[in-house]
């Protein structure tokens, strides 16, 4: 038997590595098992988020946004930019450099916190032992008082549209193309479909997105979703709803995609395709049967509000358990579990976890949508403010979109904030803090915001919830 630890974390994505660091800060002896091998065949920490998710996608969104701005939006400032071109390989190399700096940073943090990185695949055995099998096949067994499962998620496959080389790819493949496809089809108008569809459209691809549902962004406030949908259409993203893909095949190097919509059978021939139809918990060969770990019907590790599994001393956090598959949700679960293992009384407010889609417009929200409040029979007030009436948004040339504040009609407590427009990803943080403090729309209305800032739109939306916005006619507030 090898070393014994207070805690062994399996998986070093944002849920697992944060849990490991917080455990170490609290004086616990920690090891983290991670099997990730990056595209240069090197072991890497950071999981999906750092290697093939949040960070690389945001790097490409940034590059492609700069390209589009240079091509189309500089003239209105009187700036002429001629012969704009993009070297896609350089863009990908920049993205790879950011990824390797950040994953290397986690390695340094592990060293600084005295965390042992056990390289290889972890498997839970009875009596809280973990077998770690290295890439060369050598196995070692470690024991722990506590185990934190943070094995994350992987993309769903669509059996009707199998991946094919670099022509039909999942999100990971679409982060590594070194040329721009002429025609690109994306299956799924979810977060990945919109973000990666935007990247390649900005770089010059004609992009079609097929979405099975008849509602665009059904998880978002529908007023915001409709506004965003209009803006995407104006950019040229061809989003087709109620479109269910039935098959795809490769013919002469192209992808022939068959799908059904309200008008019957349809077909498109494209140069490349991204399959982005959601992700599933990754638990393959995670534990031996005699551990008795419980799973739910969707294959997620079953946990309570404190991320405790049915096996005492075994916890699970991040994408592998219920709740939104978001990096910050997993990280905060990791902190909560570490602190509870150390005897503290941590908890996580699942009602105030923000969601962001990093397109233009950015779409961000926290709390409940108007549709959810309606169906729950809650009596609420709506305040809204368009960026068209924001001096700062106009100066930036990004005056489309709006902020919506939903507040309880009786208590005025903020129940949801929904934003579509510039810097929504940052503005939503203000709403999260208000909701975390159980604040009211009056609290936002009484707060002083700098002028001219985009934050003033949040302020005005809160004022509008009680019909006293200054820079719009209040009867038009919805």
202 binds, among ligand NAD, ligand FAD, none (CB under 5 to 8 A by kind): none
Which position among 5, 8, 9, 13 is part of the footprint of ligand FAD (CB under 6 A)?
13
Which residue from 4, 106, 28 is spatially nearest to 337, judged by alpha carbons? 28
Task: Dig out the tokens for 477 from the structure.
Answer: 């507030």
For residue 188, the partner it binds in ligand NAD, ligand FAD, none, with Cβ less than 5 to 8 A by kind, is ligand NAD
Query: DSSP labels for 163-214?
Result: -BTTTEE-HHHHTS-SS--SEEEEE--SHHHHHHHHHHHHTT-EEEEE-SSS
What are the residue numbers of the active site? 451
Q: Which is nearer to ligand NAD, 23 or 274 (CB)?
A: 274
Q: How far is CA 124 from the centre of its chain?
A: 28
CA distance 12 to 45: 6
Query: Residue 17 in contact with residue 46, Cβ under 8 Å?
Result: yes
Among the listed residues 31, 192, 270, 444, the single contact to ligand FAD using CB under 6 A: 192
Residue 170 to residue 371: CA distance in whole angstroms: 31
The sign of the dihedral angle between the CA atoms of 254, 86, 393, 403 is positive
Return the number of the residue (28 or 277) whose C-beta is nearest ligand NAD.
Answer: 277
Instruction: State yes or no: residue 54 binds ligand FAD (CB under 6 A).
Output: yes
Take residue 376 and report the two structure tokens written for it.
């729950």
DSSP class per residue in 11-43: --SHHHHHHHHHHHHTT--EEEEE--B-TTS-B
Work out whether 286 is an interface residue with ligand FAD (CB under 6 A). yes
- Binders of ligand FAD among residues 458 to 477 (CB under 6 A) are none
Binding residues for ligand FAD restricted to 345-374, rule: CB under 6 A: 358
Q: Which of 23, 30, 59, 122 binds ligand FAD (CB under 6 A)?
A: 122
User: Of the candidates 283, 281, 293, 294, which has an alpha carbon nearest to the alpha carbon of residue 322?
Assistant: 281
- Considering CB distances under 5 to 8 angstroms, the limit depending on partner class, which of ligand NAD, ligand FAD, none binds residue 144? none
Of 53-61, 384-392, 433-441, 443-451, the segment contacting ligand FAD by CB under 6 A is 53-61
Gap between the Cα atoms of 184 and 341, Å rounded:
48
- Of 464, 421, 419, 420, which is closest to residue 441 (Cα–Cα)? 464
Exactly one of 12, 28, 33, 158 binds ligand NAD (CB under 6 A); which one?
A: 158
- Residue showing tokens 């982060």: 175
Half-sphere exposure of 170 (CA within 13 A, CB side): 15
The closest residue (CB) to ligand NAD is: 190
DSSP string, 108-147: HHHHHTT-EEEESEEEEETTTEEEEE-TTS-EEEEEEEEE
Nearest alpha carbon to residue 144 among 18, 20, 261, 252: 20
Return the one option of ligand NAD, ligand FAD, none that residue 23 interacts with (CB less than 5 to 8 A, by type).
Answer: none
> Which of 333/456 has CB closer to ligand FAD?
333
Residues 362-401 contacting ligand NAD, CB under 6 A: none
**Minimum distance from CB of 30 to ligand NAD (Å)?**
27
Is residue 228 near ligand NAD by the rule CB under 6 A?
Answer: no
How many residues touch ligand FAD under the rule CB under 6 A: the total is: 36
Cα–Cα dist 227/235, whole Å: 13
Q: What is the dihedral of CA 448, 452, 458, 462, to 10 degrees?
A: 50
Residues listed for the chain: 478
Q: Among residues 42, 72, 111, 244, which is the contact residue for ligand NAD, using CB under 6 A? A: 244
- Which partner in ligand NAD, ligand FAD, none is near 210 (CB below 5 to 8 A by kind)? ligand NAD
Applying the rule CB under 6 A, the residues between 190 and 209 that interact with ligand NAD are: 190-193, 195
Least Å distance between CB 191 and ligand NAD?
4
Please, what is the minimum distance in Å from the beta carbon of residue 62 to ligand FAD? 12
Residues 6+ apart with CB under 8 A from 183: 205, 206, 208, 268, 269, 270, 271, 272
| Of positions 279, 392, 418, 459, contacts ligand NAD by CB under 6 A | 279
Q: Return the number of the residue (153 or 381) whose C-beta is nearest ligand FAD.
A: 153
Question: How many Cβ atoms sit within 10 Å of the Cβ of residue 86?
Answer: 18
**Sole window of 19-27, 101-109, 198-206, 320-328 interacting with ligand NAD (rule: CB under 6 A):** 320-328
Q: Does 211 bind ligand NAD (CB under 6 A)?
A: yes
36 binds, among ligand NAD, ligand FAD, none (CB under 5 to 8 A by kind): ligand FAD
The answer to whether residue 52 forms part of the interface with ligand NAD (CB under 6 A) is: no
Q: Is 188 in the site for ligand NAD (CB under 6 A)?
A: yes
Span from 21-29, 33-41, 95-103, 211-219 in contact with ligand NAD (CB under 6 A) = 211-219
* Token pair of 206 as six digits: 């004609």
- Of the residues 63, 153, 359, 441, which one makes contact with ligand FAD according to CB under 6 A: 153
SS3 content of the chain, % helix, strand, coil (to 5): 35, 25, 40
Q: Find residue 121's DSSP bridge partners.
A: 133
Residues lying near ligand NAD in the complex (CB under 6 A): 158, 187-193, 195, 210-213, 244-245, 276-279, 324-326, 356-358
Residues lying near ligand FAD in the complex (CB under 6 A): 10-16, 33-36, 47-49, 53-54, 57, 121-122, 150-153, 171, 192, 282, 286, 318-320, 325-328, 330, 358
């Amino acid at each position: 038997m090898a070393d014994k630890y207070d805690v062994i974390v399996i998986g070093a994505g944002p849920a697992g590595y944060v849990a490991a660091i917080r455990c170490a800060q609290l004086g616990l002896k920690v090891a983290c098992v991670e099997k990730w091998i990056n595209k240069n065949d090197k072991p890497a920490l950071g999981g999906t988020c750092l290697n093939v998710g949040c960070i690389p996608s945001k790097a490409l969104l940034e590059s492609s946004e700069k390209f589009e701005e240079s091509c189309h939006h500089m003239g209105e400032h009187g700036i002429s930019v001629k012969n704009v071109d993009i070297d896609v390989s350089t863009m990908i190399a920049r993205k790879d450099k950011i990824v390797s700096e950040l994953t290397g940073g986690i390695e340094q943090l592990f060293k600084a916190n005295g965390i042992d990185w056990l390289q290889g695949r972890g498997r839970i055995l009875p009596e809280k032992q973990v077998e770690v099998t290295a890439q060369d096949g050598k196995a070692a067994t470690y024991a722990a008082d506590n185990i934190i499962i943070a094995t994350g998620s992987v993309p769903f496959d669509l059996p009707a549209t199998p991946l094919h080389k670099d022509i039909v790819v999942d999100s990971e493949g679409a982060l590594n193309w070194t040329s721009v496809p002429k025609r690109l089809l994306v299956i799924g108008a979810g977060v990945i479909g919109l973000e990666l569809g935007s990247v390649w459209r900005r770089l010059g691809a004609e992009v079609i997105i097929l979405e099975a549902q008849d509602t665009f962004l059904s998880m978002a406030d529908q007023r915001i979703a409709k506004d965003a949908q209009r803006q995407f259409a104006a950019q040229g993203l061809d989003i087709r709803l109620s479109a269910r893909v039935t098959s795809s095949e490769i013919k002469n190097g192209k992808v022939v995609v068959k799908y059904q919509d309200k008008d019957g059978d349809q077909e498109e021939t494209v140069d490349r395709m991204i399959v982005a139809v959601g992700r599933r918990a990754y638990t393959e060969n995670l534990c031996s049967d005699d551990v008795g770990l419980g799973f739910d019907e969707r294959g997620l590790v079953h946990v309570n509000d404190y991320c405790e599994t049915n096996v005492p001393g075994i916890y699970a956090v991040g994408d592998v358990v219920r709740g939104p598959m978001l990096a910050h949700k997993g990280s905060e679960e990791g902190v909560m579990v570490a602190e509870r293992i150390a005897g503290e009384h941590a908890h996580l407010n699942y009602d105030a976890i923000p969601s962001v889609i990093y397109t233009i417009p950015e779409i961000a929200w926290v709390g409940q949508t108007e549709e959810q409040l309606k169906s729950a029979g809650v009596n609420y007030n709506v305040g809204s403010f368009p960026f068209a009436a924001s001096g700062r948004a106009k100066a930036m040339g990004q005056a489309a979109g709006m902020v919506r504040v939903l507040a309880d009609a009786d208590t005025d407590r903020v129940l949801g904030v929904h934003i579509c427009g510039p810097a929504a990803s940052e503005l939503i943080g203000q709403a999260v803090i208000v909701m975390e403090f159980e604040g009211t729309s009056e609290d936002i209305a009484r707060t002083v915001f700098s002028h001219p800032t985009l934050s003033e739109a949040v302020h005005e939306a809160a004022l509008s919830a009680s019909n006293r916005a200054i820079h719009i006619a209040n009867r038009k507030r919805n």
